[in-house]
A and B are shown apart, each in its own frame.
Chain A
Amino acid sequence: MDFLNSIILLTNFIIVPGITYGSQLALGAIGVTLIYGVLRFANFAYGDLMAFGTMVVILMTWYLQSKGISFGLLPTALLALPIGILLTIAVSLFFDKTVFEYYRNKKSNPVTFIVVSLGIMFVLNAVVRIIIGPNDINFMDGHKFIMKAREFKQLTGLNEGLAIKSTQVITLITTIITCSILFYFLNKTKTGKSMRAYSNNEDLALLSGIDPKKIVLITWVIVSILATVAGTLYGLDKSFKPFTYFNNLLPIFAATIVGGIGNPLGAFYGGFLIAFSEIGLTYAYKKFFKYIMPESLEPSTLIQFISTDYKFAISFAILIIVLIFRPNGIFKGKVI
């Protein structure tokens, strides 16, 4: 019984939140890695692109709610998602046309691209804050819990409860759907293959008649979809605040590099690795050990490796370790 309790405890506090947070990071990291692979720069505006997409979704959700439309048990935001995606694509393509294309044609160095993406970051930051404000917004509606901790306790008769929020299930399902479509597209379709070829060797790809303009366009479309979906899922699960979205850029970058920059599958695993280490290393295991250890050996301290305040430090530490031991990332980078 104690063993079961300890397992439920870990599931409730580490595995379920880890999978949710990991999926959100993974979606974000795939976006960053695709930009890196195809367009060859680290996009610092990505966090704010996520915030922009989420903002459109929120505005649309409010509009739908005012019209009395809802999605039943599911959050209304899922209905608003397509509009958010479309507008984010429009914004990405607008910035690509007005800003990035010029430097791409000039074949500028990566640093110039980073600096330019900083400029876009400032602009998007301002746009989001001017339109929706800097405050916390909770736009989750519909059914909140699939399983409440108390219900679970009654159902099983265990001491520990297992709470599953509907946003967590939605996140997981959406991530699975999005990633399967994406990896099918990249690995099986002709366009996806040409994208990978372009990322692998630009000159060879051009020689074989691949249209670079089309590749860039498709990349921005995919990246915008991923950014909006990841942003909306994160906002549904926690809440929407522009500053948090900017800060999420850091673990997303860490996940990208850890998984091998330019490698979508690596970014996917990287997201989960970062999420699980952040949650696993900041969790206090006192209660867990209480269940599995005999009474005489019960711990007196929290058994917490590092306090929750230092979440950032974990993504950085993993990043540094990976860069020292495997500079190309855990999974070989630079090919998508």
Chain B
Amino acid sequence: MIKDIDFRICFSVMTILTVLVGLFQSWGIALSMLNLCLISAVMAMGVNIQWGFAGLINFGVMGFLAIGGLATVLVSVPPVHEAWSAGGIGILISGLFLAAVVISIFMINKKLSKHKYKNYFVFLIIILSIPLLKFIAGPSISKIESINAATSGFLGGANLPIIFSWFVGAILSALVAFVVGKVCLGLRSDYLAISTLLVSGIIITIVKHEEWLSRGVKNVIGLKRPVPYEVNLQKSEWFINLVQFFNSSKLSNVLDPEVKISLLNQLVITSSGVFVKLCFSLIFLIVVFVILYYSEKALNSPWGRMMRAIRDNEEAARAMGKNVVKQHLFIFMLGSAIIGFAGAMLVTYDGLFTPSSYQPLRYTFLIWVMVLLGGTGNNYGAVLGGFVVWFIWIQSAPFAIVVINLFTSHLDETSYIKDHLQNSVPYFRYLMMGLGLLLVMRYRPKGLLPEKVIKN
């Protein structure tokens, strides 16, 4: 029963916000806000799985989102055949070399687990492999990057439908999370926070600077879409008929046939944008519901109970025979996979991959604010947090303009202070976020929808 209340709060808030924006601004803005809210909700659920279920601090959200984004490029972009023939073999060889290094490290860890100098061996292998890798891959990388540098200059992808990339993004993120988790998860909470933050910084630098792989700062634009394009919609018969049907009363008022046609054209153009966004919303909604359903199921299963037990008292859980290390690693991978999935969704929705746009404030800490504000350990809370925080994030600029105009109304139009403040409107959203987080932590430390303690 309690769950139902959370569910209702969560989705009525979402509907109300969307409808409000739709009525007062425009339906296009409302739908793009809704879509980003849904993506944020998925990200927040990923973080919630790690932090709310298991108490693991992951400040590397940005890195996993970028991996998801990279997956869209690797999966959906058509391959660049010239680049493959120029440097493909070199890249494959260095990939094999890298795999050999990783396997040998694992072998050393397994076979020599008791050996005194085990760590030194691992260290030595890593140190030696870096210059070697550079030596092997260097020439082919420069060959690849020199082919059509202005338009491609990278290997391209597999030319598959972009929906696949969401799953590939999740798998890639989980793999990276496995490596990161093996290294970092043994650390204490604050060390873990700092080291995951550093890891995400490294992932971003790799995505930014390995141009043969991701085109780096040159960005990849014009990615595929899982929904129709506006231009195609505007030409198709059924869509025009649909628009005509919905606006029949408006159109029937116009008598002049020429005006009628131009009005219809106008309507078709605006509604094609809305329609595309609506398609995205549908897909994203399905994703949110599926993840929400399974997270709820997991949270209430014996496994979820065990995770909470580990979170609340690690020592006791260990004493009960639970393998804390293994479970931590598993849940870290699971959460990161969901974050990677969301990262791929985000890039798909934007239609472009811009590695330089990944900043920790927007892509790590904002997601954290969503989880903390919404309610740690409650899936509905994470979804609600995603909605509310993204709403505030988007709407704080117009709100700030109103406030600034109110306070500076007595000042001259040309006044320096007014001008300066109006130019810095985008930064008021950080202020709102900070104040929101501080207030919630103080007065509602468990978030808007607190975790429900289930007693069986």
CA distance A301 to B134 in the complex (A): 11
- Verify B190–A110 contact, CB threshold 8 A: yes
Number of A-B contacts (CB under 8 A): 128
Chain A residues closer than 8 Å to B365, beta-carbon distance:
118, 121-122
Chain A residues closer than 8 Å to B89, beta-carbon distance:
none
- Pick the interface stretch among A212-220, A223-231, A319-327: A319-327
Cross-chain contact of A321 among B123, B130, B441, B445 (Cβ < 8 A): B123
A110-B190, A122-B361, A316-B195 known; A325 vs B119 contact (CB < 8 Å)? yes
A121-B365, A309-B205 known; A126 vs B430 contact (CB < 8 Å)? yes
- Verify A323–B187 contact, CB threshold 8 A: yes
Least CB distance, A316 to chain B, in whole angstroms? 4
CA distance A260 to B438 in the complex (A): 30
A123-B438, A129-B424, A316-B201 known; A257 vs B194 contact (CB < 8 Å)? yes
- Verify B194–A42 contact, CB threshold 8 A: yes
- Verify B437–A315 contact, CB threshold 8 A: no
- Verify B195–A320 contact, CB threshold 8 A: yes
Interface residues of A in 89-128 (CB under 8 A from B): 99, 102, 110-112, 114-116, 118-127
Bitwise, A310-336 to B at CB < 8 A (1) or not (0) is 101101100111011100000000000
**Size range of the chain A interface in the assembly:** 35 or more
- Verify A116–B430 contact, CB threshold 8 A: no
CA distance A99 to B199 in the complex (A): 29
A115-B437, A316-B198, A320-B195 known; A126 vs B427 contact (CB < 8 Å)? yes
Q: CB of A306 within 8 A of chain B? A: yes
Least CB distance, A303 to chain B, in whole angstroms? 9
Least CB distance, A291 to chain B, in whole angstroms? 21
Q: CB of B435 within 8 A of chain A? A: yes
Chain B residues closer than 8 Å to A114, beta-carbon distance:
57, 189-190, 193
- Verify A120–B438 contact, CB threshold 8 A: yes
- Verify B190–A129 contact, CB threshold 8 A: no
CA distance A125 to B193 in the complex (A): 20
- Verify A116–B441 contact, CB threshold 8 A: yes
- Verify B198–A250 contact, CB threshold 8 A: yes
Q: CB of B84 within 8 A of chain A? A: no
Most buried by A among B119, B361, B368, B429: B361
- Verify B197–A250 contact, CB threshold 8 A: yes
Shortest Cβ distance from A308 into B: residue: B209
The secondary-structure label for the interface of chain A is: helix
Shortest Cβ distance from A123 into B: residue: B434
Q: CB of A13 within 8 A of chain B? A: no
Bitwise, A16-50 to B at CB < 8 A (1) or not (0) is 00000000000000000000000001100000000
Q: CB of A73 within 8 A of chain B? A: no
Q: CB of B290 within 8 A of chain A? A: no
Chain B residues closer than 8 Å to A119, beta-carbon distance:
433-435, 437-438, 441
Q: CB of A307 within 8 A of chain B? A: yes
- Verify B441–A307 contact, CB threshold 8 A: no
CA distance A42 to B119 in the complex (A): 28
Chain A residues closer than 8 Å to B208, beta-carbon distance:
309
Shortest Cβ distance from A125 into B: residue: B430
Q: CB of A243 within 8 A of chain B? A: yes
Chain B residues closer than 8 Å to A307, beta-carbon distance:
209
Cross-chain contact of A243 among B189, B209, B359, B423 (Cβ < 8 A): B359
Q: CB of A246 within 8 A of chain B? A: yes
Interface residues of B in 303-355 (CB under 8 A from A): none
Bitwise, A290-309 to B at CB < 8 A (1) or not (0) is 00000000000100011101
CA distance A170 to B187 in the complex (A): 38
Least CB distance, A131 to chain B, in whole angstroms? 8
- Verify A129–B438 contact, CB threshold 8 A: no
A250-B197, A305-B130 known; A123 vs B431 contact (CB < 8 Å)? yes
Q: CB of B183 within 8 A of chain A? A: yes
CA distance A323 to B130 in the complex (A): 21
Least CB distance, B435 to chain A, in whole angstroms? 6
CA distance A22 to B114 in the complex (A): 38
A126-B427, A309-B205 known; A118 vs B190 contact (CB < 8 Å)? no
A114-B190, A121-B365 known; A129 vs B427 contact (CB < 8 Å)? yes
CA distance A148 to B368 in the complex (A): 48
Interface residues of B in 248-278 (CB under 8 A from A): none
Interface residues of B in 111-137 (CB under 8 A from A): 119, 123, 130-131, 134-135
CA distance A306 to B135 in the complex (A): 11
Q: CB of A130 within 8 A of chain B? A: yes
Shortest Cβ distance from A42 into B: residue: B190
Chain B residues closer than 8 Å to A42, beta-carbon distance:
190, 193-194
Interface residues of A (CB under 8 A from B): 41-42, 99, 102, 110-112, 114-116, 118-127, 129-131, 133-134, 243, 246-247, 250, 253-254, 257, 301, 305-307, 309-310, 312-313, 315-316, 319-321, 323-325
Besides the known contacts A130-B424, A312-B202, A325-B119, 4 further A-B residue pairs in the complex with CB atoms under 8 A apart: A122-B434, A125-B427, A323-B187, A323-B191
State the 9 A-B residue pairs at the shortest beta-carbon distance, nearest first.
Answer: A122-B434, A123-B434, A126-B430, A126-B431, A119-B437, A129-B427, A119-B438, A309-B209, A316-B198
